[in-house]
A and B are shown apart, each in its own frame.
Chain A
Amino acid sequence: MASPVSVYNSNALDTHISSTSRESLKMELLADVSLLPGEERIIDKETMYICPFNGAVKGKVLITNYRLYFKSSDADVMLDVPLGAISRVEKMGGASSRGENSYGLDITCKDMRNLRFALKQEGHSRRDIFELLFKFAFPLSHGLPLFAYVTQEKYAENGWAIYKPVEEFRRQGLPNNKWRITFINKNYELCDTYPTVLAVPFKSKEEDLRRVAAFRSRGRIPVLSWIHRENQAVICRCSQPLVGMSGKRNKDDERYLDMIREANDTTKLTIYDARPSVNAVANKATGGGYEGDEYQNAELVFLDIQNIHVMRESLKKLKDIVYPNVEESHWLSSLESTHWLEHVKLVLSGAIQVADKVSSGNSVVIHCSDGWDRTAQLSSLAMLMLDSHYRTLRGFQVLIEKEWISFGHKFASRIGHGDKNHADQDRSPIFVQFIDCVWQMTKQFPTAFEFNERLLLTILDHLYSCCFGTFLYNCESMRDQQEVRLKTVSLWSLVNSKMDMYLNPFYTPESGRVLYPVASMRHLELWVTYYIRWNPRIRQQQSPVEQRYKELLALRDEYLKKLEALELSGSSPSSRLANTPNNPASSTPPQQYTQLQTPL
């Protein structure tokens, strides 16, 4: 018996709707919308929102240059959707359509929902709103700037400062006598989709790098992403070698990979090709391919992860069974037929293999075709498993900035910010899938992450919103050209200026620990609070706990303060942050199956 949720579960974005009394709302429904700096009202209109859960609701819709906002006349239903989340706007019905509410707008969103508005049929009432919505939802297709360039919200912290490549390398202990930092790409001449600062084997010379670049797709040469402090094993990432049909070889590439191996005396360098082997073979036809036997001292492992098109279709299928109506009678087999969880499983288990290899002292190289989708997923997830720093709130931001943004995951192409071409074959939810994998890990290790689910939801909301510059454009060279860091605000400015919203009170830092999530289907769950969050009838498990979070954080702070005071007074009982139970044995209740203290 699902209780109808009275407050419509609207957007999770942090928009500020002041609480005005119902009476005044009735008088002027849209009076209280608080706009962001630079946000302007474009048009508002009487309309009918065809809510898939509550039926048609009468109200007013407002379009600004940032959002679509709707409030029902009785103020019970509210929608607040950034225009960036819209992938498609269509007219529904024609002037002669019959039937109630058959004439209006049909809006497809990128965030697992669709919106329908019915308008009056007389006098082409939707023409102006359709045209304006189309224009502002897809500004790049209309020669307009993205909203991130229009708004200039001020935050206490500058999020662009969170990631400094050299500092991050230094944290990892680089450069050292095996690895050096190179600025060979400072003008993006070696590789236009790579960052400017790269870590490469100490022994490699700049001309080696250039020759290797010629043999790697789009010049994306193997470079270091992460190094294990103790055993010096590394994770390197790159794109596929340009082997082609003729089976070309490149001595420099072979020698270069061997330098990576040598750096910590790994006996056999493992190359993880994220693709299914058939796809890797097929890539030879277009000049690509994979490392063959000529790479001595290396082994190649295919991880069987499907490409962006398969992932796009999979998520589309998932949307079909959760929106607007959730599949009821054969839910689990329908879920299975989307294969979404299976893809999540393959990505996670690939990352686990990488992490396991590295923590046992062997260096690895990861690539797929171009090395900006599956490769980014694998390297960043493996790093999250290996390095607890990335499991902190700030460390996670660094991880995304580094492995995704700076290494040229094509956010603009995958998301299609401000672009009207909704059917573009480049669209794919690769980053969403990565965040899903992270969520699965937080579920399996509830105390290992400093951040909470809300952070993940916020990141995904702003992946589309175009309110911040963080996820705009495909690579660093484009970002420099567009002066993103000068002219827009970073998402991390928002996050870090209200950090306690995103903290997990149960976090207990354990620096040396490697997390190995279980990537078995039995232990994976559909992320209901993201994929089905628009459905008010599905219980949002997150909310009650979250209310308690702040309280718990306050308790924890108090605890830490008292602990500090005790330590100062010299009577420190323990300095641990309650991360080890006093006596693990006493906490397990006696059961039939017991470890006995005394023999019978």
Chain B
Amino acid sequence: MEFSEHIKTVNVEDVVLRQPLHPPSRGTLCITGHHLLFSDREEGSCRQVLLLLRNIDAIEKRISGSSGTITIKCKDLLVLQLDIPGMEQCLNIARSIETLSCLDSVTEMYPFFYRPSDVHLPDQWGLSSPEKHYSQMRELHDRWRLSTVNRDYLVCPSYPPAVIVPKNIDDDMLEKVAKFRQGGRFPVLCYYHRKNGTVIMRSSQPLTGANRKRCREDEQLLQAAIEGSDKGYIIDTRSSQQALQARMTGGGFESKTCYSSWKRLNRQMERGKALQESLIKLVEACGDEYQNMDRWLSKLENSKWLSHVQTALSTAGLLAECVERDGHSVLVYGSEGRDSTLLISTLAQLIMDPNCRTLEGFLALLEREWVQAGHPFQQRCAHSAYSHARLQQESPVFLLLLDCVWQLWRQFPLALGFSEALLLRLATEAYASNYGTFLCNSHQERCVLGLKENTHCLFQALLRPKERDCYSNPLYEPTELAIWPSVHPQSLQLWRGFFLRWTPQARHLEEAQEEIRNMVIEWGNLALS
């Protein structure tokens, strides 16, 4: 496809840009295949504003007389307004934005064109991989092995080529287990708890169906995972009712008789559409600046966003408790095992494992547990809270994760090695990015499109010296202890830094945080010198 087909008007002079935190300015608007560029022509200033078209979630156009106004609502919650002289020009621009902001083909997206002059495409892509993860944990090698049964993505299309499984379960058995689990997502290890040798595994639901099918290999795999221990826990992120119902559609859960050593715990977590609607309600309430403010807290409550945060943190807490306090291994899944499963396994690792709390450790964790484990970013993050498009697979699970991490960060301001700015950056990048990291839905898709050869890696970029300074927590003090979050509603806060990001107040606080960071760094340097 040629982008130029979709661009009827390239340049418009005399456009007025209105955006929060800045006075309106007049200048030239220019549209390219991937960007909106506005350059200010006021005397004495030459500000330019570059907006990735992918970041645009919805536009509204209003024509009055010979000119028009386009309101642009971005996925990072920024709202801009452009006053464009000339009706036709306005309509052309609007049409271009509509088409170019939701390109379907991944290889046409900006990451495939992004070529910063100072950086070459990396030889090595990413920070972590199951192979690397495995080789770093020697303690694991007695009882667990690295299997490449999925090297051609035939056993499980959404898994990476290599996964960690119990040593005495061979690849043939894995293939059988995969057939018994939805989407082929057989149980794999995602976390090894050094303190007591227990593990977290994740999978999708077993396909027991109404006839309560069994799979001996699946039973053996789980048994092998807890060899030498009397029991393990299965955390199912559905209610028992939902789990029962899942049988009707071919899914199900592990029966007590066949998995006698395993104890099931049900914790219902909202997913999919419900989560997306919650985000929409919340953003609506946040943006509702001039409406009656008396009901703000009720609106916040009605959006249910904070109760989703609460459920996620408390389920992750339960998981961590099983592992850290109770000393038993856990298998986690919901239905597909690509959303809430990843959410709570990630949070539980942050709670327990100090290695995940450094800047690198956290990014590596995200890479393993979200990117490689097959969270369908492309489907989930196709649209954000403003879009009028009919919802399909959108769901802000990753944003919910970032919010939960922010809550941890707020409750333990010294325990995490990264800053709020990192979480904000990730929240933006997941929806629209220069980097290839969050493109596609699985490792396989990325491999097919040659993502590693053709795009830059966000996680590596975030670790470059200049960025690292900005994204690390100057107050960081590593602790070996688990950080147990308080999940009472009184302890949870709206993530103002994100949801009210484009208000002067949030911006002001950001500046103050920046100031604090600079101060601490400066003092630190002097103390060293």
Contact = CB atoms under 8 A, between A and B. Distances in A.
A230 to B, nearest CB: 24
A331 B50 contact: no
B486 A589 contact: no
B256 interface: no
A589 B297 contact: no
A68 to B, nearest CB: 27
Given A1-B485, A333-B298, A525 B493 contact: yes
A30 interface: no
Residue among B76, B320, B425, B490 with the most chain A CB within 10 A? B490
A332 B505 contact: no
A326 B486 CA distance: 13
B484 interface: yes
Given A2-B488, A330-B301, A523-B500, A595 B49 contact: yes
Contacts of B421: 589
A592 B286 CA distance: 22
Interface residues of A, number: 58
Contacts of A360: none
Interface stretch (A235-243, A294-302, A487-495, A556-564): A556-564
A579 interface: yes
B526 A545 contact: no
B146 interface: no
Contact of B48 (A332, A541, A599): A599
Contacts of B519: 506, 508, 556, 578-579
Contacts of B491: 528, 538-539
Interface residues of B, number: 81
A600 B529 CA distance: 42
A514 to B, nearest CB: 13
B437 to A, nearest CB: 14
B470 A589 contact: yes
A505 to B, nearest CB: 8
B410 interface: yes
A446 B301 CA distance: 27
Interface string A324-344: 001110111101100001100
A593 B78 contact: yes
Contacts of A559: 522-523, 526-527
Interface stretch (B59-67, B128-136, B229-237, B509-517): B509-517
A581 interface: yes
B518 A587 contact: yes
A379 B484 CA distance: 43
Contacts of B297: 332-333, 335-336, 341, 521
Interface string B282-314: 000010000001111110110000100000011
A310 to B, nearest CB: 15
B520 interface: yes
A555 interface: yes
B55 A592 contact: yes
Interface string A513-542: 000001011110110100010000111010
B490 A541 contact: no
Interface in A403-456: 444-447
A2 B513 CA distance: 28
Nearest to B39: A599
Interface string A1-45: 111000000000000000000000000000000000000000000
A537 B522 CA distance: 36
B512 A336 contact: no
B300 A332 contact: yes
A586 B524 CA distance: 20
B167 to A, nearest CB: 32
A558 B37 contact: no
Interface in B423-443: 425, 428, 432-434
Interface string B311-330: 00110011011000000000
A523 B297 CA distance: 11
Contacts of B500: 522-523
A336 B298 contact: yes
B414 A545 contact: yes
Contacts of A544: 412-415
A447 B512 contact: yes
Given A506-B519, A548-B414, A591-B428, A328 B496 contact: no
Nearest to A552: B520
A181 to B, nearest CB: 38
Given A336-B298, A555-B527, A558-B523, A508 B410 contact: no
A245 B513 CA distance: 55
B298 A581 contact: no
B487 A2 contact: yes
A322 interface: yes
Interface of B: 30, 32, 35, 37, 39, 47-52, 54-55, 74, 76, 78, 286, 293-298, 300-301, 306, 313-314, 317-318, 320-321, 410-415, 421, 425, 428, 432-434, 466-467, 470-471, 475, 477, 484-491, 493-494, 496, 500, 503-505, 508-509, 512-516, 518-520, 522-524, 526-527, 529
Given A333-B301, A446-B516, A594-B50, 11 more contacts: A1-B485, A332-B300, A342-B294, A522-B500, A544-B414, A562-B529, A578-B515, A578-B523, A581-B518, A591-B76, A593-B76
25 contacts: A1-B313, A1-B314, A326-B489, A326-B490, A330-B301, A332-B301, A336-B295, A445-B508, A506-B516, A518-B505, A520-B505, A521-B296, A522-B494, A522-B500, A544-B414, A548-B475, A587-B514, A591-B76, A592-B52, A592-B76, A593-B52, A593-B74, A595-B48, A600-B37, A600-B50
Interface of A: 1-3, 322, 326-328, 330-333, 335-336, 341-342, 444-447, 506, 508, 518, 520-523, 525-526, 528, 532, 537-539, 541, 544-545, 548, 552, 555-556, 558-559, 562, 578-579, 581-582, 586-587, 589, 591-596, 599-600
